Amino acid sequence: MLVLTRKPGESVTIGDNIKITIIEIKGRQVRLGIEAPRDMTIHREEVYSRIHEENQRAALRKAINIEKLAKLFPGKISGDK
Amino acid sequence: MKIVSGRLGEIEIDAAKIITFPDGIIGFPEYLRYIELEFMENSPLRLLQAVDAPDLGFILIDPVLFHPGYTAAVTQDDIKSLNADSPEQLLVCAIVTIPDDPYEMTANLQGPLVINPVSGLAKQIINHDQAYTTKHKIIANKPAPSAK
């Protein structure tokens, strides 16, 4: 990992079209501004990781028991979460 | 065209119905093409089968069935990237995780799939609304075990 030290107002560039700016530091929180091409997705890492992990858990890699699933429906879905 | 599904064996599909995820599904960037299949009658669950990987598939469900009022936070950039003009043209579904006890199945409402049925383009987006998690329970009440 490349580690740099920046002050508020200073930036870091990545490649030709990504720029990250430290906007302000308030207590223990850092406010970041990110400029990147619109087709690039930017997410808080922990949220992205959670989706990534859940997708891995959900992906069907081996046979699922269809009979077991068929018994669950219809009429058994909850109306709220 | 013929494809092989790990669950359904060799099947014939309509190539026009193939859904393309230009960025793949998060964590599976190498597979871009999928097709939605019914694999159980009278079931809200559908199979999203990877066209190029027989063993890769995901179970999908319409979130509105168990979470009325659910919306995916689709941005203008998302809409444009799917070649659509408005959010109403898009279909939303959630990936289902089925653990060993199928009654405990959950839907990922934080990372829904958004599909434009006209262009055949799709993507997985991330809902930043704190109300949505990756593990929403789908089935409220497990039937009591029957006495034997």
- For residue range A42-57, list pLDDT tens digits in order: 888 999 999 999 999 9
Q: What is the DSSP string of B7-24?
A: TTEEEE--GGG-EE-TT-
Cα separation, B10 vs B2, in Å, equals: 7
> Among A37-46, A60-69, B56-65, which stretch is predicted with the lowest mean pLDDT?
A60-69
Across the interface, do A51 and B126 touch by the CB < 8 Å criterion? yes
Instruction: Give DSSP secondary structure letters for B110-134.
Output: SS-EEEETTTTEEEE-----TT--S
ipTM value of the model? 0.88
Q: How far apart are CA A30 and CA A63, in angstroms?
A: 46
Q: What is the model's pTM? A: 0.84
Q: Which of A51, A60, A70 sits opposite B58 (nearest CB)?
A: A60
Determine the residue among B98, B110, B113, B114 to mutate to test chain A binding: the one whose Cβ has the most chain A Cβ atoms within 10 Å.
B98
pLDDT of residue B1: 84
pLDDT confidence band for B38 (50 / 70 / 90): confident
End-to-end Cα spacing for chain A? 40
Q: Looking at the predicted structure, is the pLDDT value of residue A71 above 70?
A: no
Of B40, B43, B111, the CB nearest to A51: B111
Residue A53 is inside which H or E element, if any?
helix A45-58
Cβ atoms of B91 and B117 closer than 8 Å: yes
- pLDDT for position B144: 64
**Mean pLDDT, rounded, for B10-33:** 92
Q: Which of A23-27, B46-50, B144-148 is predicted most confidently?
A: A23-27
What mean pLDDT is reported for chain A? 83
Which of B26, B40, B47 comes nearest A70 by C-beta? Answer: B40
Count of C-beta atoms within a 10 Å radius of residue B21: 21
Whole-number percent of chain B with pLDDT over 70 = 94
Structural domain boundaries of chain B?
A: 2-137
Q: Are A54 and B55 inside 8 Å of each other by CB?
A: no
Nearest Cα neighbor of B65 from A64, A74, A5, A36 is A74
Q: What is the fold of B2-137? A: BH3618-like (2.30.290)
- Record: contact B134-A77, CB cut-off 8 A: no
Question: Residue A77 has what pLDDT?
Answer: 39
**Residue B21: pLDDT over 60:** yes
Distance CA B107, CA B144 (A): 23
Please determine, for residue A76, whether its predicted confidence score (pLDDT) is greater than 90: no
Chain A: closest CA distance from residue B13 (Å): 20
